[in-house]
């Protein structure tokens, strides 16, 4: 079961503003840049990101798959993430479920287990933008 929806509101108003400056530089974190589907507003969301090699990145969906940033990324087919101080273009979003939480580091699995997180999205590094940027 994902984290409660009301917590997303708290994160948007308080936590994300505090975490964002650090998330772009720390290992295991990143700032996801995406464009709103209707508003076409450029948005930035701090997240935990896990590099899996081969240009693949995994994001645990702690709030489930019904979050706005994921809908925006799926609709656009692409996004950017700033991690460890550099921007990376990502595309080909693929949602999946793994109750064993194998795509994330071993030390993170118990934490995600306590939170009931079993949904993930995988994004692949792309050398150029996919389609028109909104």
Q: What is the mean pLDDT of the chain?
A: 84
**Distance between CA atoms of 126 and 115, rounded to whole angstroms?**
31
> What pLDDT shows up at residue 129?
55
pLDDT, one tens digit per residue, over 45-98 is: 888 899 998 999 999 998 889 889 999 999 999 999 998 888 999 999 999 999
Sign of the C-alpha dihedral computed for residues 26, 109, 113 and 32 taken in this order: positive
Domains defined along the chain, listed by start: 5-23+32-113 (2.30.110.10)
Summarised one tens digit per residue, pLDDT across range 35-53 is 999 999 998 888 889 999 8
Q: Is the pLDDT at 8 greater than 70, yes or no? A: no
């Amino acid at each position: 079961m994902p984290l409660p929806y009301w917590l997303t509101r708290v994160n948007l108003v308080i936590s994300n503003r505090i975490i964002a400056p650090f998330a772009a530089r720390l290992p295991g974190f990143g700032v996801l840049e995406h464009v709103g589907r209707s508003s076409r507003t450029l948005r930035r969301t701090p997240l935990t990101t896990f590099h899996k090699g081969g240009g693949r990145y995994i994001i645990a969906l702690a709030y489930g798959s019904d979050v706005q940033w994921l809908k925006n990324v799926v609709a656009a087919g692409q996004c950017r993430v700033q991690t460890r101080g550099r921007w990376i273009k990502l595309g080909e979003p693929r949602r999946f479920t793994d109750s064993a939480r194998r795509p994330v580091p071993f030390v993170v699995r118990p934490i995600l287990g306590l939170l009931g997180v079993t949904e993930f999205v995988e994004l692949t590094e792309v050398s150029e933008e996919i389609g028109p940027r909104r």
